[in-house]
Amino acid sequence: MKFNYHLIMIAFRQLRNRKRQTFLTLLGISVGVMVLITAVSLMDGLLQSFIQKIVEIAPHVIVSGEKVKPTVPDQLVASGNGTHVTFIKNVSRDDQEVIKNYPRVESLIASDSLVQLVSPSVSTDVIGMFGTVSEPIQLFGIIPHVEDGIEKFSQNMVSGNFDELGRTPDGIMLGSTTAKDFTAQVGDRMQIVSPSGRIYSVRVVGIFMTGINDIDDNCYVNIRLGQNIGGFSPDEASNLYIRVKDLPKDTLVAKTIERETNYKAITWEEKAASVVALFKMISGIVYFLVFFVIMVAGFGVANVLITNVLEKARDIAILKSLGFKKSEITWIYLAQGLIVALVGAAVGCLLGYVLIEVMSSIPMASSSASAIRTDRLMMGKSPMYFIGASMFALIVSLIAAVGPSRNAAKVNPVEILRGER
């Protein structure tokens, strides 16, 4: 059927005749679209900035001492007709899993052209003591100038100087959270109790803050001291941190490492998977709630149309007696739903754009001072938010318009014309 201009005119004029109700419905759609756009932008922006930060200051691939697969048969056990082979020791020493002869592994990994940087580290759970406070902390032994290329400590120092760590054999650098717990400051001396019970005296040379809690809990010393405290031999490391040249290739790098060295290598995506999943879940909940805002706007559309159809029953009867077909009557009211949705979505997009701009320019008192490169809310920006929200509003409005429009088409002219007598 031909969608004629006069049908849209009828639809439009009937809406214009009910200015206030139409305006309120339009406002409902606009607010729904605006809230949806803003919510998507906010959630997307948070996730993007989180990932961006992780990628910037966390290792892209972490190699640990865990073996991918034990390749040496451990035992042969006769059973029935054949023999069973076990690869895992059924009695094994509760050793820390370490990368043995790490310099060799390190140079092997570094020879991969995709790898930018390899940084060895040892990690040990120790007790830190300062004044009357003693707390368990995770202590990392690193080669400061190498590790800085991955975790960017020198850019995130709250106090002290990062270079000092490399020059101070008994120096320790505290994460901001730990420093706050101990109330320790640069220059203070504190004690570290190793797993074997020995006490080491160290001097605080710096405090850093990245804004990522996992990292800000940690404390760092030189790798030699770390090996001493943890009871590692000089060629042993707990992890090798790797920064790759081309980020999307990190999975490839991890696979190559596992194949060549037999040590387990995990990527940042795997490590951050739970956090990303959490983000996605929160986004899901937010979208679900916003969905209802637009649903309510849809009820508004249905409301306007139902009122219009009831009030215009006489006009519908006339149009039918003039020879308008059912489908044409249906179109008039579907068009009303469409007009309200289109105008509402357009206004909503405009409001959403303004709101995103305003929100991303409000200064936020950030708790992680230097860590976040910007002190503004990170808002995502993409035309897809606008297209998606508008499409959604359009679909909801159309669905809301279907019922009333079909009722309009069902109006029996004789009943209405008779009723007027």
Nearer to other proteins, 169 or 419 (CB): 419
CB of 30 to other proteins, least distance (A): 24
* 288 contacts other proteins (rule: CB under 8 A): no
Handedness of CA 178, 181, 185, 190 (dihedral sign): negative
* 314 contacts other proteins (rule: CB under 8 A): yes
Handedness of CA 11, 17, 19, 25 (dihedral sign): negative
* 309 contacts other proteins (rule: CB under 8 A): no
Nearer to other proteins, 3 or 292 (CB): 3
Among 70, 367, 418, 419, binds other proteins (CB under 8 A): 418
* Subset of residues 4 to 43 that bind other proteins, contact rule: CB under 8 A: 4-6, 9-10, 13-14, 16-17
Q: Which stretch binds other proteins (CB under 8 A): 3-11, 119-127, 150-158, 345-353?
A: 3-11
Handedness of CA 91, 97, 102, 107 (dihedral sign): positive
Among 172, 309, 319, 371, binds other proteins (CB under 8 A): 319
CA triplet 221, 223, 229: central angle to 5 degrees? 75
Among 73, 80, 323, 383, binds other proteins (CB under 8 A): 323
Judged by CB under 8 A, the number of residues near other proteins is 29
3-state DSSP helix/strand/coil percent for the chain, to nearest 5? Answer: 55, 20, 25
Among 268, 272, 315, 390, binds other proteins (CB under 8 A): 315
CB of 1 to other proteins, least distance (A): 8
Among 75, 321, 361, 374, binds other proteins (CB under 8 A): 321
Cα–Cα distance for residue pair 157/164, rounded to 1 Å = 12
Contact 351, 39 (CB under 8 A): no
Nearer to other proteins, 95 or 420 (CB): 420
* 180 contacts other proteins (rule: CB under 8 A): no
CA distances for 65 relative to 78, 82, 92, 177, 261, angstroms: 32, 34, 15, 28, 10
CB of 304 to other proteins, least distance (A): 15
Nearer to other proteins, 53 or 312 (CB): 312
Cα–Cα distance for residue pair 65/411, rounded to 1 Å = 78
Cα–Cα distance for residue pair 379/390, rounded to 1 Å = 19
Strand stretches in 3-151, DSSP E: 61-67, 75-79, 82-86, 115-130, 133-142
State residue 95 phi and psi, 5-degree precision. -80, 155
* 320 contacts other proteins (rule: CB under 8 A): yes
Residue type, 60: H
* Contact residues for 89 (Cβ-Cβ < 8 A; gap 6+): 74
* 413 contacts other proteins (rule: CB under 8 A): yes
Nearer to other proteins, 245 or 314 (CB): 314
Nearer to other proteins, 16 or 180 (CB): 16
Cα–Cα distance for residue pair 324/346, rounded to 1 Å = 31
Nearer to other proteins, 143 or 416 (CB): 416
* Contact residues for 23 (Cβ-Cβ < 8 A; gap 6+): none
Nearest to 130 by CA among 191, 217, 174, 204: 191
DSSP 363: B
CB of 318 to other proteins, least distance (A): 5
* 307 contacts other proteins (rule: CB under 8 A): no
* 2 contacts other proteins (rule: CB under 8 A): yes
* 421 contacts other proteins (rule: CB under 8 A): yes
* 406 contacts other proteins (rule: CB under 8 A): no
Nearer to other proteins, 293 or 329 (CB): 329
CB of 404 to other proteins, least distance (A): 18
Tokens read off for 229: 């405290």
Binding site residues, other proteins, CB under 8 A: 1-2, 4-6, 9-10, 13-14, 16-17, 314-315, 318-326, 328, 413-414, 417-418, 420-421
